[in-house]
Amino acid sequence: NMLNRLFQRSIAQTSRLTFMQCRSFASFQKAVLKPLPYAINGLEPIISQNLMEFHYGKHHQTYVTNLNNLLEQASVALEGGDHQKYVDLSQAIKFNGGGHLNHEFFWESLIPVANGGGVLPKEGSDLYAGIVDAFGSFDAMVAHFSANTAAVQGSGWGWLAYNKTSDEIEFHTTANQDRLSDKGAHLTPLLTIDIWEHAYYLDYQNVRPNFMTEIWKVVNWEKVSERYLAARN
């Protein structure tokens, strides 16, 4: 009888834990790797299909997979009251979450040449005027962005951002997989360029400046303009 009671208690505890885990797992929406807004070879010859298969298909997918695994662990830890475990996971969640979201924003900032990649905003547009006001000229912005992004030590990102407080367009960099929002909610991202080695090495080897020169040919300025108008309204 005692063994039977112990067995029944064990079953009940296991069932309760399984239920809590299922409820915990269901409490968050899993991250997904969205389809690219163009074909995997759509950015050629600026970015090769080979590089995209590694960068999007492997690197970005790894961030998504890691993020979901970490979120499940964190959800179980929080449900079970293991706050130490939850806190210990937070940095890895931030890193992989940033890797996922930064890449998602990056892919949407690009477009094939045949579909308008590299076509500059019209000189009379709000975006063009905002860039000229901030940097003196459009070419000056490109030069500043390219030089300072290429100069990032280690890995990181270059950003064109709208500062809600000053109503100006600014340039920023972030390290590793940090988000632009880490610098403050007053900054809205308009454009980002990935300067991690995996973003360019297969095509440009160790010559970052060449990558930064070429990447402008596939920037989706129409998308950047949409973001700018939305941020100001």
The residue assigned the tokens 């961030």 is 63
Question: Would the annotation count 194 as a binding residue?
Answer: yes
Do 55 and 96 have their domain in common? yes
pLDDT in tens, 138-193: 999 999 999 999 999 999 999 999 999 999 999 999 999 999 999 999 999 999 99
Do 99 and 132 have their domain in common? no
Count of domains observed in the chain: 2
CATH number, domain containing residue 84: 1.10.287.990
pLDDT in tens, 58-94: 999 999 999 999 999 999 988 889 899 989 999 999 9
pTM of the model: 0.86
Do 104 and 215 have their domain in common? no
- For residue 26, being part of any structural domain is answered with no
Question: Would the annotation count 186 as a binding residue?
Answer: no
Residue 70 belongs to domain spanning: 48-108
82-to-10, 46, 78 alpha-carbon distances in Å = 21, 48, 6
Q: Of the candidates 191, 219, 213, 217, which has an alpha carbon nearest to the alpha carbon of residue 130?
A: 191
Task: Identify the burial level of 233 via C-beta atoms within 10 angstroms of its C-beta, where 0-12 means exposed, 13-18 middle and 19 or more buried.
Answer: exposed
- For residue 211, being part of any structural domain is answered with yes
Show the tokens assigned to 161: 């951002």
Do 75 and 129 have their domain in common? no
Say how far apart CA 6 and CA 29 lie, in whole Å: 37
Question: Would the annotation count 103 as a binding residue?
Answer: yes
216-to-37, 117, 190, 222 alpha-carbon distances in Å = 17, 8, 14, 13
Do 97 and 68 have their domain in common? yes
Do 90 and 163 have their domain in common? no
